Structure formats: structure tokens, C-alpha cells
Chain A
Amino acid sequence: MSSLPILELRAVGKSYGANRVLKGIDLAVTRGEIVSLIGPSGSGKTTALRCMNFLEAYDEGEVWIKGQLLGYRSAGRSERDRDSEKSVAEVRRPVSMVFQQFNLWPHMTVLGNVAAPLVLSKKTTKADAHKQALAALTRVGLAGKADAYPTSLSGGQQQRVGIARALAIEPEVMLLDEPTSALDPELVEEVLSVIRSLAQDGMTMVMVTHEMSFAAKISDHVVFMEAGQIVEAGPPEQIFGNTRTPRLQQFLKPWFDRSLTSVAGVA
């Protein structure tokens, strides 16, 4: 099996004026792998994720998707020419995204939302797009809501539509930006269970999350970031069981305390 990364970040950096929010991020994601980005707010996790599909234009380093450079015409560190919007779209095509705020289009039905990327960007016929969209909706258990409008759905349902939309384009990598952070606590589980089932099917995913227990169970690789840098990265056994850096220990302490209490409570 080829272990060539499907998505690779090399020394990716990003600054807003004088504020350098990403300071050289290296990350390689291989096919079928699930990578979680964790860390305190403002650590740059979401920015890093958004650089992976060039929603955020990184200004140092390189992002490679399936061996193609994303966003720029040439590699290297000095002044570079931005690629045309069309070529960026072409390179990021295998990558889809799930947003924290869902970002569904409220004037379209659920089916319309899921089919729109296919109808509007690819040369699919409308009938085929709808068939594919319906299959994706079935996958997240919302085929029955195809004709409803997003605003009539619960937050959890809206996010499942967001996931269906990301699935319908048949991506090779899915980026998930805090997919459960905007949800009421009792709605989190329905979204997590959909993500879990995608993981079981071998979907490659990069996820920014605050759900530590979930990240511990589902991930192949966990990246802990702070202040725009990767502080510690490794398999979940290391990150959650055999933490090496004091900063990560400190970050995880509330979660450890909580899980210990709950284990004690059960026992």
C-alpha cells in the first residue's frame, strides 16, 4: 500500500499583518487516516485547517494535495504568484469541508443544498446530482428531510446536512472545523455518530475538535497546537495516555479529571 500522503503541509505559516498566527506547521495525512487537531482557542487549529483548502491563503511553506501544490504557481519561500481561482478549485477538488456554523444556503431545500456543489461546479446532470445527493442524505439518515428548508431543522440535523453536502462530492479528504461546537449538548451525539460511521468506512478526515473523548477514540493521529505551533503530535495512546509535554498535560487535565470522575461514578 502506498503511504504517499494525500494531503501534506510543509512548514506552513500565516500572518495577519505583524501577527504570525501559524508558525511552520508540518503535517502529512495518508489515505484512510483520521487526524484530530486539538488545542486552546486561538492556537491556530482552525486557521491551519482552512489553509488546507486555501479558504485561508497561507503565506509561508507549501500545502500539497495529491502531489499538487495548492494556491501558488511554484513552491519556495520567496514572493510567489497566486494561482488563479480556477486552478485552486481544481487542486482542492478532492477536499471537502464541514463548517462549524454549517453554512447551509437557506434559500435552497436540503436536497438543493447537497446537490448544489454537483450542479454548480461539475458537469453533472441535475438528475444525477439529485440521485447522488439523495444517497448522501440517506447516508446521514436525513433522506426524509430532502424537501425541507434548512431553517426548519435542528442544529444537529443541519450539521448532518452539512456532512451530506461534503460527502456528495465524493471527496478523498474531509476537513471538519469544530463540527459539534455550535450544537446544543444533546445534539452532539447524533453528529458524532455520523462522523464515526464515516470513519468506519475509511474516509480520510482532518478534524478540529474540542471533543477529547471522541478524538481519543476515533483518531489515528492527534496534533496538539498552541500559539500557532505544533507542541506535541502522535497516536492517541501517546497524546491522551502518555503525554510528553507539560503544556499538553495541563491542557488535558480538566478532561482527565472529568473522565476519572465519570469512571469512578460508574464503578
Chain B
Amino acid sequence: MNSFLSLIPRFAEAILVTLEVSLLAAFIGALGGFALNALRLRFPRWLAGPYRVYVWLVRGTPYLSQLVIVYFGLPVIGITMTAVQATIVSLAFYSAAYFAEIFRAGWASIPRGHMEAARAFGISRWSAFRSIEMPQAIAFAIPLLANQTILVIKESAVASIITVPELTMTASDIVASTYTYIAPYAMLIVCYWLLTQCIAVAARWAQALITPSRKTS
């Protein structure tokens, strides 16, 4: 038990790295996905092709390969990043495809009649996007967004390969230097579990906040 507790300081540092990398990546990825979906809605014709190719490429290849291309491949064309930067960039690029699909589903969940009513009442496309589509689409998407964020947190473990001092890297280090497996991996599990639980709780809270109370007055 003592050996387990003595791991806390190192894991506390590592959990902050994982948190920083994955939340930044998920945030940028979600913004990117939102923008992609908004563009797809606005310019359906010429954007449909590139959009599909992007989603197809990102979803069809392992994240590890994308990380490797960003970290080891981009320097070839003169773009050099630190390991943390490369992780954030690649993870954002990777998750944006999934986030875009989530927003697409959110928009697809809105009945056609809602937008027809908006048009019939002279509400501009932009106002309708903001005030009629977005609140409904986001409410629909919250559980999926939370789910994707959790996946991003867990996927960030791959960054241990390029020596980002995040949770998985820390656990591997301790294993390598102490030859004990149980305590560091138990701690690793607890840390990831804590992070993902925080996301789940935040999502539940956000859902409650934006879902109107169904008064039956």
C-alpha cells in the first residue's frame, strides 16, 4: 500500500500532462469538427468531396500512424514540433473527424419542418442556425461529445511512444526502473478512470443545464 501511495506525486504530475494534452486536443478537435460541419451545411457541393476524403482517411488509419507522420514526418518539410505539440496537433486533427460526424448527426436529428417553419417566418439562415438548430443539435450531441472526449483521453496514451511524460509513459518508466507491475498499472487505471469519470459527470451536468425542465403546468 505504501509503495502504491508513494506513486501519487509522479502520477499527479503525469495526470496534468494527460489532461492538458487531451483536453486541448479535444477542444480544438471539437471546434474544428463544428466548423467543418457548419461549412458542410453552408457549402454542401464543393466541400462534400474533400470532407469525405478527410473523414475517410482519419477514420481508416490508426491514430499512431497519424502521430508518427506529424512528429517524424512533418520535420522533413520544415515543420518541427515538440512531442507535446505534435500530440495535441495530431490528436486534434484525428478527433475533429469524429467530432464533425457527431455534429452532422446532431444536425441530421432535427426534423425538416423546424427549418421550414423558420424560413416561412422570415428567420434568416444564420439566425435559424444559431437559435433553432444549434441548441437542439448540441443537446442531442452532448453524450456523444463526452464519449468522444473520453476516447481522446484514452488515445492520448499513444503519445507515450514519442516520450510525452503523460500517464502511460510514467507507468512504463516506473515499471522499467522498479520491476513492479501491479502498483503502477493499478495507479494508471485509477488515474484514467478518474479523468473519464470527470468528463461523464460534466456531460451530465451540461445536459441538465441545457435541457429545459419539462414543465407540465
Residues of A at under 8 Å CB distance from B?
53, 55, 85-86, 89, 92-93, 95-97, 99, 101, 103-107, 109, 116-117, 120-122, 144-145, 147-149, 151-152, 165, 169
Closest residue of chain B to A121 (Cβ to Cβ) is B122
Known A55-B116, A107-B135, A121-B127: A96·B121 in contact at CB below 8 Å: yes
CB neighbors of A among B110-131 (8 A): 111, 113-114, 116-125, 127-128, 131
Q: Are A148 and B215 in contact (CB under 8 A)?
A: yes
With both chains docked as a complex, state the minimum distance between the C-beta of A68 and any C-beta of chain B, in angstroms.
14
With both chains docked as a complex, state the minimum distance between the C-beta of A103 and any C-beta of chain B, in angstroms.
4
Q: Are B122 and A93 in contact (CB under 8 A)?
A: yes
With both chains docked as a complex, state the minimum distance between the C-beta of B122 and any C-beta of chain A, in angstroms.
4
Enumerate chain A residues within 8 angstroms of B84, measured Cβ to Cβ: none
A89-B124, A109-B212 given; 5 more Cβ-contact pairs under 8 Å: A85-B125, A105-B114, A105-B117, A105-B136, A107-B136
- Could you pull out 17 A-B pairs where Cβ atoms are within 8 angstroms? A55-B116, A55-B120, A89-B119, A89-B124, A95-B120, A99-B113, A101-B113, A105-B114, A107-B136, A107-B212, A116-B131, A117-B121, A117-B123, A120-B131, A121-B127, A122-B122, A148-B217
Q: Are B122 and A149 in contact (CB under 8 A)?
A: no
Give Cα A168 to B207, complex, Å.
Answer: 31
Give Cα A151 to B214, complex, Å.
Answer: 8
Give Cα A144 to B139, complex, Å.
Answer: 27
Enumerate chain B residues within 8 angstroms of A92, measured Cβ to Cβ: 120, 122
Give Cα A69 to B120, complex, Å.
Answer: 16
Interface string of B196-217 (1 = CB under 8 A from A): 0000000000000000101111
Q: Are A121 and B121 in contact (CB under 8 A)?
A: yes
Give Cα A147 to B212, complex, Å.
Answer: 11
With both chains docked as a complex, state the minimum distance between the C-beta of A122 and any C-beta of chain B, in angstroms.
8
Q: Are B122 and A89 in contact (CB under 8 A)?
A: yes
Enumerate chain A residues within 8 angstroms of B123, measured Cβ to Cβ: 116-117, 120-121
Give Cα A147 to B136, complex, Å.
Answer: 18
Closest residue of chain B to A119 (Cβ to Cβ) is B131
Q: Which listed residue, B120, B124, B214, touches A97 by the CB 8 Å rule?
A: B120
With both chains docked as a complex, state the minimum distance between the C-beta of B212 and any C-beta of chain A, in angstroms.
6
With both chains docked as a complex, state the minimum distance between the C-beta of A109 and any C-beta of chain B, in angstroms.
7
Give Cα A116 to B124, complex, Å.
Answer: 12
**Total contacting residues, chain B, CB less than 8 A:** 25
Closest residue of chain B to A93 (Cβ to Cβ) is B122
Enumerate chain B residues within 8 angstroms of A53, measured Cβ to Cβ: 120
Q: Which listed residue, B119, B132, B139, touches A105 by the CB 8 Å rule?
A: B132
Enumerate chain B residues within 8 angstroms of A165, measured Cβ to Cβ: 121
Enumerate chain A residues within 8 angstroms of B131, measured Cβ to Cβ: 116, 120
Enumerate chain B residues within 8 angstroms of A144, measured Cβ to Cβ: 217
Enumerate chain A residues within 8 angstroms of B139, measured Cβ to Cβ: 107
With both chains docked as a complex, state the minimum distance between the C-beta of B108 and any C-beta of chain A, in angstroms.
16
Q: Which listed residue, A55, A96, A105, A121, touches B124 by the CB 8 Å rule?
A: A121
Enumerate chain B residues within 8 angstroms of A149, measured Cβ to Cβ: 212, 214-215
Q: Are B117 and A103 in contact (CB under 8 A)?
A: yes
Q: Are A147 and B217 in contact (CB under 8 A)?
A: yes
Give Cα A103 to B139, complex, Å.
Answer: 18
Enumerate chain A residues within 8 angstroms of B135, measured Cβ to Cβ: 107
Give Cα A147 to B120, complex, Å.
Answer: 24
CB neighbors of A among B91-146 (8 A): 111, 113-114, 116-125, 127-128, 131-132, 135-136, 139
